[in-house]
Amino acid sequence: MARITASVYTSHVPAIGAAMDHGKDHEPYWQKLFDGYEFSRQWLKDNTPDVIFLVYNDHANAFSLSMIPTFAIGTAPHYPIADEGWGPRPVPAVEGDSVFASHIAQSVIQDDFDLTIVNEMAVDHGLTVPLSLMCGKTDAWPCRVIPFAVNVVQYPVPSGRRCYELGKAIRRAVERYDEPLNVQIWGTGGMSHQLQGPRAGLINREWDNAFLDRLIADPAGQADMPHIEYVREAGSEGIELVMWLIARGAMADANGGPAPHVAHRFYHVPASNTAVGHLILENPS
């Protein structure tokens, strides 16, 4: 059967992609950030999965206001790179896994999550920046990717609890799959940031670190935090952090198994307007 071996959490600031694409990653401003991912790049080389189930949000690129899915799973064979307004990022297109993604969709829908199935979708920095951070510059991503987009743009977004329960359902789906796949689940977005209004630039280092602590040690408790606290304490765009709970809910301990091993933890301010948080959690094998 397929297994979730690890989860990865990381912010996904567009400026990080731009820094890499324009060769600025060794400038002092960016070097401090990329240093925090040096371990991770080696770790991913040593622990390359067959498939990454990548939870992220679209930023008005694949989805406009004409149709806003709460949860959308990509079941396409591949995904082009979105032109977000600056031209498409010069990174490889993303190869999907239609068969496995459809299996997960079926299982999760039968577990009462009302997914939207998507077969034609360009992927934006929400998906490509985490890949770039973890893989560096590359001509081909190291494995297949199943994009899973969460609406965190128009309110109401799904609750932390709903996201956490969805993670559990994804784990059940993975374990019902006959092929012996090594699967990682990534939760992306956040941490504290606000991109709009006179309060733009908000950063809450203390809150972010408390979130990381609790995500590791008490994810079920974290799942019950209401949205308003994310928005007030971590900025209007800090709400992206609910997506991390999907990945966290898919780990063994959320499903009656042992606690994960913290392989890596990193926190840095700023990347452009944003606090960058990053975790790698491994399931005991």
Partner 1 sequence: MALDKPYKDIPGTVIFDAEQSRMGYWLNQFCMSLMKAENRARFLADERAYLDEWEMTEDQKQAVLDRDLNRCVQLGGNIYFLAKIGATEGKSFQQMAGSMTGMSEEDYRDMMVSGGRPIEGNRYTHEWEKK
Catalytic positions, written as ranges: 125, 193
Residue 42's binding partner among partner 1, a copy of itself, none (Cβ under 5 to 8 angstroms by kind) is: none
Give me 164's structure tokens. 């956490």
Nearer of residues 40 and 188 to partner 1, judged by Cβ: 188
What distance in Å separates the CA atoms of residue 171 and residue 252, rounded to the nearest whole number? 8
Query: Residue 180 or 198: which CB sits closer to partner 1?
Result: 198
CB of 50 to a copy of itself, least distance (A): 24
Q: How many CA atoms lie within 13 A of 70 on its CB side?
A: 12
Instruction: Write down the least CB distance from residue 64 to a copy of itself, Å.
Output: 9
Cβ of residue 106: shortest distance to partner 1, in angstroms? 6
Q: Which does 61 bind (CB under 5 to 8 A by kind): a copy of itself, partner 1, none?
A: partner 1
Q: Dihedral angle at the C-alpha atoms of 58, 60, 66, 67, nearest 10 degrees? A: 10
Which residue has tokens 């989860």? Answer: 7
* Residues of the shown chain interacting with a copy of itself in the complex, contacts defined by CB under 8 A: 65-72, 105-106, 109-110, 112-120, 154-156, 158-159, 162
What's the distance, CA 196 to chain centroid?
22
Q: Which of a copy of itself, partner 1, none does residue 256 bind (CB under 5 to 8 Å by kind)?
A: none
* CA-wise closest residue to 160 among 239, 98, 235, 236: 239
184 or 273: CB nearest partner 1 = 273
Structure tokens that stand for 26 in this block: 């060794």
Distance separating alpha carbons of residues 27 and 164, to the nearest angstrom: 38
- Rounded to the nearest whole angstrom, what is the least distance from the CB of residue 106 to a copy of itself in the complex? 5
Complex with partner 1: residue 220 or 269, whichever CB lies closer: 269
**Residue 112 binding partner per list a copy of itself, partner 1, none, with a CB distance cut-off of 5 to 8 Å that depends on partner kind:** a copy of itself
Q: Are 104 and 73 in contact (CB under 8 A)?
A: yes
Determine the residue type at 148.
F
Contact by Cβ (8 Å): 129, 16 = yes
Contact positions vs partner 1 (CB under 8 A): 1, 13-15, 18, 29, 59-61, 64-66, 75, 82-87, 98-99, 102-103, 105-107, 110, 117, 119, 153-156, 176-178, 192, 194-207, 227-228, 231-233, 236-237, 269-270, 272-273, 275
> Rounded CA gap, 124 and 237, in Å?
16
CB of 39 to partner 1, least distance (A): 24
Please state, as a whole number, how many other Cβ atoms lie within 10 Å of the Cβ of residue 229: 13
Q: Which two tokens stand for residue 25?
A: 């990653």
Residue 245's binding partner out of a copy of itself, partner 1, none, with CB under 5 to 8 Å set by partner kind: none
